[in-house]
Structure 1
Amino acid sequence: MIDKQQFEVRGLNYSVRSAAVQDAEELSALRLQIDGETENLDREKGEAFIDVQGFERLIQSDTANPRNLFLVAEAKGRLVGFSRCEGSDLRRFSHKVEFGVCVLQAFWGYGIGKNLLWTSVAWADASGIKKMTLNVLETNDKAIKLYQRFGFETEGILKNDKVLADGKYYNTVVMGRFHE
């Protein structure tokens, strides 16, 4: 669990904290909205929908699992983004977690994704996790540069991995950060 942390960026006050079961309803609606705002994520709006009970189970599971971390960002009295680190129960992969993040488009540019990432990296390092991995769309230059600033390196390219609304195929960049 992560204690609530306060940030102020460009006049916006927001907090980052561990997700709580009470966030489930808002998270379900938030994820649906974010999926409809950008093609940088894997899902189109409504795909792989997670309902309130699904988020309740996910939050409970992540809270109980020391290899998982579910964070939310809160601004102006509502959730505006979230991130997850998910580890594996398999021993050969027990040293690593996969990171994913999403933020409402209206709140881009306030360092919310950066601070969700920073909090996750600090948690991983303090928890003895050696490797963080993530996937990012090749056209998401801002995200790639952010990940690089945090020590992530390109480990590979999944060619023609996604087809977007324009009907064209795009590559996925696989990135990883190893902490000694």
Structure 2
Amino acid sequence: MKISNQEFNIKGTFYTIRSAVESDAQNLSEIRVQIDGETQHLDREKGEAFMDVYDFEQLIKADTMNEKNLFLVAVVDSKIVGFSRCEGNSLKRFSHKVEFGVGVLKDYWGYGIGTNLLKAAVVWCDASEVRKITLHVLESNKKAISLYENFDFETEGILINDKIFADGKSGNTVVMGRFK
């Protein structure tokens, strides 16, 4: 699915949030690896589950054609600095919901990019047949949890010792949902 472009100017940084297009594939392949290496808040270690240009081209093509999926990018000076996805499910019993995920380059934290990617996804969901948005977030990521709560997400459960980090420590995952 596609949305209309949205323009923002936060703290003097101009950026656009728009639907991903196939020509974004190279940049997405590169920044996904970089983002994974900049934070422990995501599921992957740097370089894990690598997606190359072809993988991203196919994903973007499929998401654009699928009314239950939304792939957004945040662009500063023609460079992608963040992205989000809402992924639906073709099974009838789950067809009412999508799963949300987001990533933003660390140099662009604090400019409302993650917030505006989430807001665009919520607006899209509210205007569609989607009745529930789900997501997973590390319990230690208090800033993200607070953001999600500001968008009416509720905690549905906690997965204990759900992730193991490179240092051997574990983290709990909060399962959250937003209902239409």
TM-score (norm 2): 0.98
> Displacement, 1:84?
0.1
Using the aligned pairs only, state the percent identity: 63
Q: Deviations for 1:49-73, whole angstroms, at most 9, x for unmatched residues?
A: 0000000000000001000000000
Whole-angstrom CA distance in 1 between matches of 2:169 and 2:22: 39
Partner Cα distance (2:11, 2:51) in 1: 32
**C-alpha deviations, 1:56-99, integer Å up to 9, x for none?**
00000000100000000001220000000000000000000000
**Which ranges in structure 2 are unaligned for 5 or more consecutive residues?**
none
CA distance in 1, matches of 2:78, 2:90: 35
Distance (whole Å) between structure 2 residues aligned to residue 151 and residue 8 of structure 1: 25
- The residue that corresponds to 1:42 in the other structure is 43
The CA RMSD measured in Å over matched residues stands at: 0.6
Instruction: Provide the rounded CA distance (Å) in 2 between the counterparts of 1:101 and 1:95.
Output: 20
Q: Could you say which residue in structure 1 is the equivalent of 2:88? A: 87
The amino acid that maps onto 1:29 is: E
Consecutive unaligned residues in structure 1, runs of 5 or more: none
1:166 aligns with 2:167: yes
2:151 paired residue number: 150
Q: Does 1:102 align with 2:103?
A: yes
Cα displacement (A) at 1:163:
1.0
TM-score (norm 1): 0.98
1:121-160 paired onto structure 2 within 5 Å? 121-160=122-161
Runs of 4+ off more than 6 Å: none
2:111 aligned partner, one-letter code: Y
Query: How far apart, in 2, do the equivalents of 1:178 and 1:82 lie?
Result: 23
Letter in 2 for 1:43: R
